[in-house]
Amino acid sequence: MQPLISIVIPVYNREDYLKIAIESVLRQSFTNFELIIWDDGSTDNSVEIASGYAQKDKRIKLIAAKHQGFSNSLKSAFSICSGKYIGWVDSDDIIAPTALAETAKVLNNNPEIGLVYTDYLLIDKDNKILGKGSRCQIPYSKDRLLISFMTFHFRLMRKEVFEQAGGINENTGSVPDYDLCLRLSEITEIYHLKQPLYYYRQHSGNMSQTQRVELIYSSQEAIERALQRRGLDKDYEIKVEIIGKYYLEKKR
């Protein structure tokens, strides 16, 4: 039976958190899905961990590829998805047991909606819940998306709309998801499901921590492209402030 949903987990050296990410997908109340785990040339035990699950569950496809970077890996993984609906889970995060059921219900019942996204909770390296993500409080609008990435996690989208928008652009630096959401907002309806169905992990290896400045400038470029597509670049330009904050922390 062809799966209704394809979920991608892109992986690069995530042996510490990959197991719980995979298990969160396998625990879904909605079971008609495939899980594509795309390993981007990991040098730790990520492939071995994923392989153990793939041997036990036929819904899992494991691809151990050469290292090509996050955006290219994501694009390659989505190219082999067979589901009507597609989405991804970061290899250090978790989805709630009803995430697929609740988001698929929105798409099933509303053919005009091309993407649905949920609220999310912050967790630490030990899975302790830290609170609700700040972006959950931002009302969705196509225009507000130009300056606030509120369509954060979890996202499920129609594959045909994803392809119509051009899919993953591998030339978007470290923000292929933001760039994709901007393009999707220009061709389809987007719905905010106000349920915390994703757990976003904060830890020292987060891209937001290790590549903060790159994220900022990649986002700026994504916004500039969106302004051009929307014919707004003659009237508006994006300005960016990078603010440094300093504090003292007691040595341990």
Amino acid sitting at position 18: L
Distance CA(152)–CA(136), nearest Å, equals: 8
Which DSSP letter does residue 202 get? P
Q: What is the model's pLDDT at position 64?
A: 97
**What is the distance between the alpha carbons of residues 133 and 123, in angstroms, rounded to a whole number?**
10
pLDDT one-digit tens code per residue, 190-217: 999 999 999 999 977 655 545 678 888 8
Choosing among 3.40.190.80, 3.50.50.60, 3.90.1150.10, 3.90.550.10, the CATH entry for 5-229 is 3.90.550.10
Residue 244's pLDDT band (cuts 50, 70, 90): low
Is residue 100's pLDDT more than 70? yes
Q: Cis (ω within 30 of 0) for the bond into 154?
A: yes
Enter the pTM of the model. 0.91
Residue partners of 244: CB distance under 8 A and separation at least 6: none
Residue type, position 183, single letter: R
pLDDT of residue 61: 98
Strand, helix or coil at 163?
Answer: helix
pLDDT tens digits, 90-99:
999 999 999 9
Alpha-carbon gap, residue 139 to 133, rounded angstroms: 13
pLDDT in tens, 9-65: 999 999 999 999 999 999 999 999 999 999 999 999 999 999 999 999 999 999 999
Report how far apart, in Å, the C-alpha atoms of 47 and of each of 16, 79, 248 are. 12, 20, 39
Mean pLDDT of all residues in the chain? Answer: 93
Q: Does residue 249 register a pLDDT over 80? A: no
Largest CA distance in the chain: 57
240 conformational bin, left if phi > 0, alpha if psi -120 to 50, beta if neither: beta
